[in-house]
Amino acid sequence: MSAIFRSLQVPNYRLFAGGQLVKLIGVWMMFTAQDWLVLELSDNSPSALGMVTALQFVPVMLLTLVSGRLADRYDKRKLLVAANAAFAVFAVAFAVLITAGVVELWHVYVFALLLGIANAVETPVRQSFVSELVELRLLPNALALSAATFNMARISGPALAGVLLAVLSTPGVFLISTVLAIAPVFTYIRMRPADLYRSPRKKGAPARVIDGLRYVGKRHDLLLPIVMMAAIGMIGFNFPVTLAALAKIDFNAGPSTFGLLTTCLAIGSLGGALAGTRRRARPGVYRVIGAALLFGVFEFFVGFSPNFVTAALLLIPTGFFSIYLAQGANHRVQMGVDPEFRGRVMALYVLVFLGTTPIGATLSGWWGERFGVPSSIWAAGLVSFVAAVGALVWQLRASGDRLEFRGRRVRLVQSESSLEASASEGLHDGGGAEADSVIRPRQRARAHAEPSTPSGPVARV
């Protein structure tokens, strides 16, 4: 247990994790209630549900790369305070409108877009900010705990929303979730900037978006997971659309039962997140691809579930591999990037993973309305599996590795260059490029006055 939660020993990270947990519980309560509200206002229309989800992520598509540029140029903590404050203001206004009983479907569309704008600025900045909260050796654990925090909220948020929807109705859920969503504003303000692990900025070097894109284009180890997650994120991760429609339309479930279905997915997701907390090095490319293959298989079978119980049980391993995949791809990208490009590269990752949701959500809603909700789920699983197979073929050709089939067993034979690259990643713990550049501000002056030792001010690998 001490190994799993070792990043929580850092005060700034404790504040970060606590604020995120409280906020995300509120956000998942809000989104669960919002999905139910949309179905009530639209007479059970999957297309309307897909439209709301799309509007939430259109700003991610349009603004994320700009947000990454801001993250590489300005103080991330201050950017996060501003973005979370904006989100809280929009959430309060939305809750007031619902409580007053005058909400209409177009109101939901407008606020989905406004909340999406705040998230488009906050998400890439927050993801790149984690590397400033802890020293390099704790970064894999900190990233994994962030994913675990997210999925703890995914478990408790929909479950609480399902119960409260039955007890307090939709306005009560929105009021409670709005109060919780304000938490990060205060936790970011309470952090100690002097204890952040910040890389020295290069003076006079503009943080241009195009430079970040060129950097990724030259790095096969970054490009492959980003491209694979673009396809899987767009088609395979549309559970906010598919699960709500599946519960209400196909299984005739009530709000509390819908919350249980989402909770089963989140239970598996939490397991996938915790499985990565002991990771100390950059995950290998074949581990990430393997998780993608298994995710596609389980999502495919969810689409053929004959009843609610079967779907709920299958959603547990689906959730496990969805987060194990997303977390592994995130770690592989973030732990392999140079610090001066981290904000822009993570913005690109967020763009392809979340920014493609408007396309996928709209397509999923359209498909579900015409061909049935289950078919939109198994088709998404099939697309995810094919994308993983494509990534595997790409990696084998680029690395010179090959697969040997011996009876029922499949054996990976790596080339010499691939073995050297894997050994290098293990030795450097996934972040060798930045190991000697991350220095605490209060220690930097002392670093010039005394020789650097293994226990000195430089965060060594």
Q: What is the pLDDT of residues 438-458, one digit of tens each?
A: 334 444 343 333 333 333 333
Which residue(s) pair with 411 in the sheet?
A: 404
CB 391 within 8 A of CB 94: no
Q: How many angstroms separate the CA atoms of 367 and 362, rounded?
A: 8
Q: Return the residue matching tokens 């478990």.
A: 155
Q: How far is CA 149 from CA 22, 210, 266, 354, in A?
A: 9, 33, 11, 18
> Among 220, 226, 384, which residue's Cα sits nearest to residue 292?
384
What is the identity of the amino acid at 313? L
Per mean pLDDT, which range of 29-43, 246-260, 440-454 is the poorest? 440-454
Q: How many angstroms separate the CA atoms of 250 and 305, rounded?
A: 11
pLDDT, average across residues 303-320: 88
Strand, helix or coil at 70?
helix
CB 239 within 8 A of CB 266: no
What is the identity of the amino acid at 80? L
At 329, list the tokens: 């791809």
**Is residue 350 scored above 60 in pLDDT?**
yes
Q: Is the torsion defined by CA of 436, 437, 439, 443 positive or negative?
A: positive
> Among 236, 234, 240, which residue's Cα sits nearest to residue 352?
234
Show the 3-state SS of 2-40.
CCCCHHHHCHHHHHHHHHHHHHHHHHHHHHHHHHHHHHH
Q: What is the pTM of this model?
A: 0.67
Q: DSSP letters along 81-139, please?
A: HHHHHHHHHHHHHHHHHHHTT---HHHHHHHHHHHHHHHHHHHHHHHHHHHHHS-GGGH
**Is residue 382 scored above 90 in pLDDT?**
yes
> Among 125, 92, 191, 133, which residue's Cα sits nearest to residue 6?
133
At 365, list the tokens: 């809603």
**Is residue 320 scored above 70 in pLDDT?**
yes
**Is residue 432 scored above 50 in pLDDT?**
no
> Among 372, 422, 387, which residue's Cα sits nearest to residue 401?
422
Q: DSSP letters along 312-380, please?
A: HHHHHHHHHHHHHHHHHHHHHHHTTS-GGGHHHHHHHHHHHHTTTHHHHHHHHHHHHHHH-HHHHHHHH
pLDDT, average across residues 32-56: 80
Q: DSSP letters along 428-451, please?
A: HTT-GGGTTT-B-HHHHHHHHHS-
At 293, list the tokens: 């293959």
Q: Give per-residue pLDDT as tens, 165-198.
A: 777 777 888 888 888 888 888 999 999 888 888 7
Which residue(s) pair with 439 in the sheet?
A: 198, 458
Which residue(s) pair with 410 in the sheet?
A: 405
Cα 233 to the chain's mean position, in Å? 10
* Burial class (CB within 10 angstroms; exposed 0-12, middle 13-18, buried 19+) of 380: buried
- Beta carbons within 10 angstroms of residue 454's beta carbon: 6
Domains of the chain and any CATH numbers = 6-194+208-399 (1.20.1250.20)
Q: Give the DSSP letter of residue 196.
A: S
**Is residue 420 scored above 80 in pLDDT?**
no
At 315, list the tokens: 């959603």
Q: Give the DSSP letter of residue 194.
A: G
Q: How many angstroms separate the CA atoms of 278 and 1, rounded?
A: 10
Q: Give per-residue pLDDT as tens, 104-149.
A: 888 889 988 998 888 888 888 888 888 888 887 788 788 778 877 7
CB 158 within 8 A of CB 27: no
Q: Give per-residue pLDDT as tens, 166-175.
A: 777 778 888 8
What is the pLDDT at residue 457? 31
What is the pLDDT at residue 391? 92
Those residues with Cβ within 8 angstroms of residue 187's Cβ, 6 or more apart along the chain or in another chain: 15, 16, 18, 19
